[in-house]
Structure 1
Amino acid sequence: MLNIDNLKQQKRLSLMRILKHVLIIALIFSSQLIYAGNWVKLKQNLRDFYLLESVSDIEVQNVLESMNNDFSFSDIDYNMHRRSNWKPREHLNRLITLATAYENTNSKYYKLDEIAESIVGGLNYWSYNHFYSHNWWQQEIGVPQNIGPTLIICESIIPDSTMTKSLEVMDKSKIRMTGQNKIWLSGNVLMRELVRGNDSLVTAAADTIKSVLVLSKPYQEGIQPDYSFHQHGPQPQFGNYGLHFAEDMIKWMFIFNNTDIAFSSEKVDLMRKLMFEGQQKVVYKGKYETLATGRQIFPEMVNGKKYRGPMAKYEIYKKLEKVFNKFDTQDNPYAAPREYIHFRNSDYSLYRTGSFFSAVRMSSQRIIGAEAGNGENQLGYYLGDGTNLIYRRGDEYHEIYPVWNWKKLPGTTTVQDTAKLPVLTWSGYKNGSYFAGGLKSKDVGITAFKYRRDSLQANKSYFFIGNKVYALGSAISTNRNFDVVTTINQCYKNGDVVVSKNKGRITSVWHDSIAYVSLCDQQLNVRQDVQSGTWKRILTWHTDSLISKDIFDLEVNHGEKPNNGKYGYVCVVGISAKEVKEVIKNRLGANIAHKNEVHALSFNQGKTLAISAFEPCEVEIGNQQKLIIKSPCLLCLNKYNDGWTIEAVDPTQQLKILSFGITGKYRLKGAQRSNIAGDVTFFDITPPENSYEKGKKSSVMLITK
């Protein structure tokens, strides 16, 4: 006999199973719709990114006219295999040009069959041949990077056979490596798998790209705590890998925007800091600062086209600003502030005023000074040895590199041997001391380092205040039988050179609105000569056409095998030749200590003191008062009615305590420990212990009892 209750129960269970299956199917279908919607949006965002800047009809016409019947280009040597400036990749760049014109409704080539045929033919020509460079980067990163955009922009017109073959070329990219290389590789995988519809790999690639946008531990590759950027070890790379990093991150932020894989607000904020607290600060008057470019010291134009010189880098930066501001709602700064800044994680300082810009690049046991590779930066052996450049117009050193005497870079102290400059490797070099740092105070910036390299030692300081750059050096010694020279400047000659002497010795030189004034007993040597050279000296793949330029060179010769030599000078920027005497008489700071162990200047009638203490020492600070410095440090003292404020930096980034004494009886605010012994107040300052903040300043107040 049939049990009615059992039958009803079975029907209910069957219905529940059906509903469960329907729900699962619905969820799967819904999930697929979500993913499909994401990928459609991603593709559209990518197309929109490449259509942000229109391609001129003339540029498209030139591409078409240079294309052969087999869809190759007549001006490209496809048999070239060199590592840098590899010309065959230009084939793929031109296909992107055609692709953007094909999809641009404002182009006269919009949706033309001729363009479609050229795009498909160009992809086939590349994919069915084996064009290669001896640089792995081109095959694994560069080539796929320049195929992917064309495939996505023009996906609807590309036959399956062409698409399959092109994607096989892109298969050389895998998600691996570190830093910018990891971003490039992951971006290539994302574009490739977006076309294939591989959800898991698209998501993995997107997650990998986003994972690289983090604040790195100090001196590891990536974004530094001071918003400089490192690649190839602890090496500042603002304009090479760093600029590519910014370019790619902002591109992917744009492409991921308004999808489920969009960057978090925290990562957008970090990118904002990299852009406006890092990148923006290294551009001046439409050019990228030379010392920030990495090894890629390139000419602006190569074969009649813009390449990757300082102006091209600046244009990339301005484009990044424009794209970033399309999806970032913050009120970002229009221009870098007028200030001194020291990038403590990169041994690199900048000083910007309303009339000029100056930069210093150092190195240490923490920071690599420079590298060479791919035939680039062949003469940069001394680039990170205290090079100090001063820009007003911005063109003072523009493409001076073929004719520069690279043994006399501005600001450096170097042995003038007769040997050819060694070519650096990918490992670069480090200076032999940990002492390298900078301190920013209210009115003055201090940059200093101990130079210890190739049997030469020197203690070097740079002080920035108002329209002046002071430079002091001491403890200059070597056992090598060659002259040692400190180069004050080596730049293009522009107009008259006015020399002033006292008892037959040059005491000041004026040139191009800058007065160079001697601050100690030394002989200034000035030269005005034509210097010649070739770009091939700098870049092995460039031409050896001879270039000649009029050069202004100012230096101090310390002679052969100096023992505790020194120099001192100030560059007064933006004055006429007639003003030099008055500036020397009334507008210079006082040099109150210029010894092996300490450099100290006094400004504002002794109310501001700037000190580089390389060893424990004592400094007379006026009014029969003495400062006892027990630890290597950088110091700025500011006088006020009831005492002093003291700001200190540990440039070694290794000390736990900075110890001092000052004549007089004071009570202190901010000191770790203090005591009074007789007429001397002793106190300690504690530098930041957090590794992310090492090299920052600490402050105390001394209040008269």
Structure 2
Amino acid sequence: MKKEKIFICILVSFLALTAWSKNKSDIEIVKTRIFQEMMKDGSDDTKISQLLESIKEDGTWPGINYEDVSRTGFEHRFHSDNMNILARAYNSKSSKYYKSKKVKTTIELALKNWIDHDYFCDNWWHNQIGTPNNLVTLMLLVGDKLNPELVAKAQSIIGRAHINAGGARPGGDRIKIAGIQAKNCLFLDDDEKFNEVVGVIESEIKYVEWIGAKYGYGFRQIMGGFENRSHEGRGIQYDNSFHHRTDGVNNTLSYGTGYASAFAEWAAYTDDTEFSFSEEKLAQLIDYFLDGICKTSVFGKIPDVGAKNRSISREGSLNPYNAALPEKLISVTDYRKAEMQEIIDIRNNNKKPTLSHATFYWDSEHFSFQRPDWFASVRMYSTRNYNMEQPYNSEGFFNHHRGDGTNHISVTADEYKDLAPVMDYQKIPGTTVMQKTEMPGERELQKLGLTDFVGAATDGKYGAVAFDFRSPHDPLIARKAWFFFDEEYVCLGTGISCKTNLPVVTTLNQCLLRGNVLLSSEGKSAVVEKGEKAYENIDWIYHDNVGYVFPEPTAVYLKNDAEKGSWYRINRQTDSPKDEIERDVFKLWLDHGERPSDESYQYMVVPAVGLGELQNTSFNNKVKVLVNSPKLQAVWQKELQMCQAIFYQQGKLEINENIKLECATPGVFIVRTDGNKISEITVSDPARKNARMFVSIPQKVAVKAENFVALWNEDTQMSDLIIKLPGGNYAGDSVTIEL
């Protein structure tokens, strides 16, 4: 018995030692992967030479303003960047400065300067993310070679990044801060804390309720994440968009992309170790990446300017994405591998996309539409979210109207690249805006929407979008609609009314000028001379492979000429370029006159079309506007045998002499027909108020399904359909019934 006890003790000790060894082995694997990632940028010996020669005796570098710690300044970040540039050279065998004593001494001199002054910015981000991230990178690169006293003193600065820090709000910032803390745990050999923090990173991948689901429309009054650790709507929404703050603004292509990148980074670091993330979390992140980030981007590769916020005021903000994020994700799981590989090929090899989709993000009031040859989007807002991100840090302070039914069109995907400095911010593509003598102040930029009826219906391939627009900035109302098909989409506006004696215009597009502009009037086409001019009786306008077709001859205003501006005009960061720049711009708009009352418009956009095709195709025969009134907007697409309609109130629509639609509840509809019968209906409730939609159609329906009931009415000779709508976190989504 005694020998058996000894054997058991030895066995338990052996197993514990084995587990400890496995843990240490996995820790070393993660550390090695992080080190390799940090070294990927390599070393530029010319840059290193400059840094070594220019550093001053006090450990500062010339050209950096060490006095300005404001939100628009803090050039100190270049100082901490320089230390890491030197550290990479110190570790790079291909550099002549490999293990250079002078490099190490210079790093210590620069680090001592930072520690002595503890540079603290008015913008919390630098204090809890930017600076700690740079310093923990320095520690993992060369910390074991530096003066131990300096290394110890740096810990208090790095330690400002921790999962209970004020800035570690659920969502985008929390996952970044946790990543910094995890790296510091590795440097400190704190395995237990590392395990805990990695668990926090994994746990951040989750769907969160739209903030209004709990608090209602007054959610801005709720205490923010600095004091309340609940999600409060921050993170991945159930529609796969992303909210960073409690304002309901779409942050998918800003904080939401950084969030995904941070998770993918740690998924790759911990892959095939005891710290690996679960397949469930990986799948959820990939769904968000493919269905959120990629479908909000042009061809999954280039940011859609319509989904960007204040960052459009930064030069290069519309540059293409690289493939680093999807490459990390595809390396750790096979989930949706073929789709992920296509995105990688699009980003790396300029492969043409094959995906067609129509996607509505009901939590963010954002719609995107793609065909292999073109992309378009519509941005809106409602009582459920704010119109635009605040102009934080003095960025993007002319963005007042960039959510007012913005409709951007892309064929080449760079139509709007770096246009922001010269843009006319009262003529945003797709919007109807009162033209003011000057824009309201930046403190008047962010506004909560004033209407409920904002949304879209989509069957995944086609989409109808509705915007009951009431401007929070001006005494202006309009009902705006977009109907998307394979080769074209229709834009309708009605009820356009304003109480001020100022002109109101609807802008069809404002983009970079590429080549000639042609117009057709009364069947005759001509090249437009450069300048600004009004034109009467226009049939169509053609520019940069996009046609703008008018069902009825229309008066338009067109400008194709140079515009001037500067990045500093829209971004007051100290490093924002102040030089005047010039861009050739194409601008096309409709003038509704001063103080309009119940004005309207209708036009069709035909992207990715050749001039010859535009001239020889009668798009008015393909698509017919059935109704354009404040009560009902509807179009018919002949080739698809499809009607799309928006009922702002109960009403009737005669699609043709054999098919009609009666709706007892307001909603957005996509109706597919087969001969004289309706074969499929897709519907949504933009107001998110109804649990069911009540529709009547003139045919008997024998189909039974979980999501609708059909009752034959002998008196009216119509089938009354009761359609169950998505609710809860999916209110605003569409439902499709097959008849």
The question of a shared fold, defined as TM-score above 0.5 by the shorter chain, is answered with yes
Question: Do structure 1's residue 297 and structure 2's residue 289 form an aligned pair?
Answer: no
C-alpha distance in 1, partners of 2:270/2:407? 41
Question: Do structure 1's residue 573 and structure 2's residue 573 form an aligned pair?
Answer: no
C-alpha distance in 1, partners of 2:331/2:188? 29
Which has the higher mean CA deviation after the structures are superposed, 339-348 or 106-115?
106-115
- 2:342 corresponds in structure 1 to 334
- 1:111 corresponds in structure 2 to 99
- 1:211 corresponds in structure 2 to 203
- 1:661 corresponds in structure 2 to 696
- 1:305 corresponds in structure 2 to none
- 1:220-239 deviation line (CA, Å, top 9, x unaligned): 11112222211112221122
Instruction: Give the drift of 1:143.
Output: 0.5
- 2:532 corresponds in structure 1 to none
Question: Do structure 1's residue 614 and structure 2's residue 648 form an aligned pair?
Answer: yes
On the 8 A contact 2:661/2:697 being kept in 1, the answer is: yes
- 2:297 corresponds in structure 1 to 283
On the 8 A contact 2:700/2:712 being kept in 1, the answer is: no
Q: Select 1:380's aligned residue among 399, 422, 438.
A: 399
CA 1:262–1:580: 2 relative to 1, 3 Å: closer
CA 1:606–1:97: 2 relative to 1, 3 Å: closer
Question: Do structure 1's residue 675 and structure 2's residue 712 form an aligned pair?
Answer: yes
Instruction: Give the drift of 1:350.
Output: 1.6
- 1:83 corresponds in structure 2 to 71
CA 1:253–1:100: 2 relative to 1, 3 Å: farther
On the 8 A contact 1:381/1:422 being kept in 2, the answer is: no
Instruction: Give the drift of 1:151.
Output: 0.3
Q: How does 1:501-650 map to 2 (within 5 A)?
A: 501-502=521-522, 504-520=536-552, 522-541=554-573, 542-584=576-618, 588-604=622-638, 607-641=641-675, 643-650=678-685
- 2:437 corresponds in structure 1 to 418
Instruction: Give the drift of 1:517.
Output: 1.6
Which has the higher mean CA deviation after the structures are superposed, 379-388 or 632-641?
632-641
C-alpha distance in 2, partners of 1:638/1:700? 10
- 1:550-590 deviation line (CA, Å, top 9, x unaligned): 32221111122222221110111233445444333665301
- 1:273-298 deviation line (CA, Å, top 9, x unaligned): 12222222333375322122332114
Q: Unpaired segments of 5 or more residues in structure 2?
A: 212-232, 344-352, 523-534
Q: Select 2:193's aligned residue among 185, 197, 201.
A: 201
TM-score (norm 2): 0.85
Instruction: Give the drift of 1:245.
Output: 0.6
Letter in structure 2 aligned against 1:44: T
SS at match of 1:247: helix
CA 1:338–1:98: 2 relative to 1, 3 Å: farther
- 1:78-123 deviation line (CA, Å, top 9, x unaligned): 2221314632112222322333333344444433333333333332
- 2:324 corresponds in structure 1 to 319
C-alpha distance in 1, partners of 2:554/2:585? 23
On the 8 A contact 1:183/1:248 being kept in 2, the answer is: yes
Instruction: Give the drift of 1:154.
Output: 1.9
SS at match of 1:217: coil
Instruction: Give the drift of 1:45.
Output: 2.4
- 2:226 corresponds in structure 1 to none
CA RMSD of aligned residues (A): 2.8
Identity %: 23
On the 8 A contact 2:459/2:734 being kept in 1, the answer is: no
C-alpha distance in 2, partners of 1:452/1:672? 36
- 1:157-208 deviation line (CA, Å, top 9, x unaligned): 1221121011121122232332222122222322233323334432332222
C-alpha distance in 1, partners of 2:151/2:537? 74
- 1:684 corresponds in structure 2 to 722
On the 8 A contact 2:710/2:719 being kept in 1, the answer is: no
C-alpha distance in 2, partners of 1:166/1:103? 20
Question: Do structure 1's residue 487 and structure 2's residue 507 form an aligned pair?
Answer: yes
SS at match of 2:519: strand
Question: Do structure 1's residue 39 and structure 2's residue 39 form an aligned pair?
Answer: no
- 2:121 corresponds in structure 1 to 133
Q: Select 1:468's aligned residue among 443, 464, 488.
A: 488
Question: Do structure 1's residue 362 and structure 2's residue 380 form an aligned pair?
Answer: yes
Letter in structure 2 aligned against 1:694: A
CA 1:113–1:645: 2 relative to 1, 3 Å: same
Give the number of equivalent residue pairs.
Answer: 678
On the 8 A contact 1:668/1:674 being kept in 2, the answer is: no
On the 8 A contact 1:183/1:212 being kept in 2, the answer is: yes
Instruction: Give the drift of 1:35.
Output: 4.5
Which has the higher mean CA deviation after the structures are superposed, 591-600 or 574-583?
574-583
SS at match of 1:592: strand
SS at match of 2:702: strand
On the 8 A contact 1:49/1:254 being kept in 2, the answer is: no
- 1:253 corresponds in structure 2 to 267
CA 1:693–1:253: 2 relative to 1, 3 Å: same
CA 1:104–1:254: 2 relative to 1, 3 Å: farther
CA 1:395–1:459: 2 relative to 1, 3 Å: same
Which has the higher mean CA deviation after the structures are superposed, 576-585 or 643-652?
576-585
Q: Select 1:347's aligned residue among 365, 369, 381.
A: 365
On the 8 A contact 2:536/2:555 being kept in 1, the answer is: no
CA 1:243–1:680: 2 relative to 1, 3 Å: same
Instruction: Give the drift of 1:609.
Output: 0.9
Question: Do structure 1's residue 397 and structure 2's residue 385 form an aligned pair?
Answer: no
Q: Select 2:520's aligned residue among 500, 506, 511.
A: 500
SS at match of 2:342: coil
On the 8 A contact 1:253/1:263 being kept in 2, the answer is: yes
SS at match of 2:160: coil
CA 1:616–1:185: 2 relative to 1, 3 Å: same
Instruction: Give the drift of 1:247.
Output: 1.7
C-alpha distance in 1, partners of 2:334/2:263? 17
Letter in structure 1 aligned against 2:702: R
- 1:303 corresponds in structure 2 to none
C-alpha distance in 1, partners of 2:553/2:631? 18
SS at match of 1:154: helix
- 1:652 corresponds in structure 2 to 687
SS at match of 1:270: helix
Instruction: Give the drift of 1:444.
Output: 2.9
Q: Select 1:227's aligned residue among 222, 232, 240.
A: 240
Instruction: Give the drift of 1:470.
Output: 1.4
Instruction: Give the drift of 1:686.
Output: 0.9
C-alpha distance in 2, partners of 1:167/1:585? 67
C-alpha distance in 2, partners of 1:333/1:685? 38
Letter in structure 2 aligned against 1:186: A
- 1:701 corresponds in structure 2 to 738
Instruction: Give the drift of 1:342.
Output: 1.9
C-alpha distance in 2, partners of 1:35/1:126? 35
- 2:225 corresponds in structure 1 to none
C-alpha distance in 1, partners of 2:505/2:615? 26
Instruction: Give the drift of 1:628.
Output: 0.7
CA 1:208–1:665: 2 relative to 1, 3 Å: closer
Letter in structure 1 aligned against 2:195: T
- 1:168 corresponds in structure 2 to 156
CA 1:589–1:65: 2 relative to 1, 3 Å: farther
Letter in structure 1 aligned against 2:664: K
Instruction: Give the drift of 1:599.
Output: 1.4
Structure index of larger Rg:
1
TM-score (norm 1): 0.89
